[in-house]
A = this chain, B = another copy of it.
Amino acid sequence: MAQGALPGFRDFYPQELAERAYIMSVWREVASRYAFVEYDGPPLEPLELYTRKSGEEIVGQLYNFEDKGGRQVALRPEMTPTVARMVGARANALRKPVRWFSIPQLFRYERQQKGRLREHYQLNVDIFGEASVAADAELIAASLDMMRAFGLGPEDVRARVSDRRLLRAVLTTIGAAEDSHEAVFAVIDKVERTPRAVSEEKLRAAGLDDAPIGKLFELLRARTPAALREALGKVDRGVEERIAEMEQYLDFTARLGVGEYVQLDLTIVRGLAYYTGIVFELFDAKGEFRAIAGGGRYDTLLASLGGADLPALGFGMGDVVLGELLRARGLMKAAARPIDVWVAGGERTVDLQKVMTLAAALRAEGLAVEYSLKPQQIAKQFKAASTAGAKRAVVVPLSTEAVGGTEYTIRDLDTGEQTKHPDASAVVRALVAIRDER
């Protein structure tokens, strides 16, 4: 029994559970405001669901095995294949656009790094069946309104947006041949964490000359479409189309009230090859943590998985980095319900019966009630009430008559203030009134 949870897996004691519940409650609340509805799938899926999307290489990172029926199965490492399967199965029946979210626990067998988890909860928000850039704006707005709901403003969190089509057009404009683009993306993806000389060396290896390399670094510093236009100098039609769409996207995010968070940043490539349009990532503004969330448009993925041919976009936001950030900023809360009332009584069974009767009446009104489950000294009961963090205690009339007579006493355990009440009904009325005042 010395043994704990498996390495990389978390136990959620009540405090940690309450923090997890807080994060999930904010996710659900904001998702609902944006009219996203919740779904879920199985945590165990056919292995093939993941290899079809990500190739056989993914297997090395999975919790996969053969079940007792000879099926190759895996704990889900991500939600997209599941939701693609579910949407595909009912593509015709579902109202479009499909606006769904889910909060699955996901599993990856990562080589254990210090403190690296092998499971986490990840909010997944997706829109299926809408190609308009307004959908892209709606999606990032939902992610940023979540930041705001957690108390994280534009000074805490930045959204960096890009568009691989725009980046391609820009690369073409500065003279990078098409067959160099994938290699250039790989360099750009790591450019922030790489010394410039190393990046330049790799870009040269990809076939770029010194002039376009210099230009590229200039372009990557652009934080608005206007700055990008200016840095480019000449803008051909392919680029202009993409810049105009980016401008509309940014305008829409401003209309949706989250413009202050958002900036253009062509260094955002996102590792995943399946993105087809605008992509974004959320970071803490101080750059202390890994990305908080990320996503974008993946219009061709569903069809390529053999499902519905629907345009699609989505983002994921995990509970771990977000939780670290909230704690670091003093913004973590716990969604735990306090005990409203502790009912106390005398030391005899008849006292306990009276306590139970009152507890039942209070619970029937929806109050959270605890009491000592065995007769004990009233001083001990008060101590227990206080340790439990109860807001109020009620003392039922003691059978011994020594203290209380026939009256009930309500005591505020913060202020010590006491009120007397003639019977149990009066106590219930008084405590319900206090609850409803709030």
Contacts and interface: CB of A to CB of B under 8 A. Distances in A.
Q: What is the copy number of this chain in the assembly? A: 2
Interface stretch (A230-238, A251-259, A403-411): A251-259
B17 A363 contact: no
Contact of A11 (B41, B107, B255, B374): B41
Interface string A327-351: 0000000001101000000000100
Contacts of A84: 1
Contacts of A307: 1
Interface in A59-98: 60, 63, 65-69, 71, 73, 75, 84-86, 88-90, 95, 97
B255 A353 contact: yes
B86 A44 contact: no
Contacts of A257: 360-361, 363-364
A433 interface: no
Interface in A352-389: 352-353, 356-357, 359-361, 363-364, 366-370, 373-374, 387-388
Interface in A232-288: 248, 251-252, 255-257
A434 interface: no
Nearest to A308: B1
A252 B5 contact: no
In this complex, the interface size class of chain A, counting residues with CB under 8 Å from chain B, is 35 or more
A109 B14 contact: no
A251 B352 CA distance: 11
Nearest to A135: B373
Nearest to A81: B1
B41 A12 contact: yes
B35 A368 contact: yes
A105 B39 contact: no
Nearest to A98: B14
B5 A359 contact: no
A255 B99 contact: no
A1 B40 contact: no
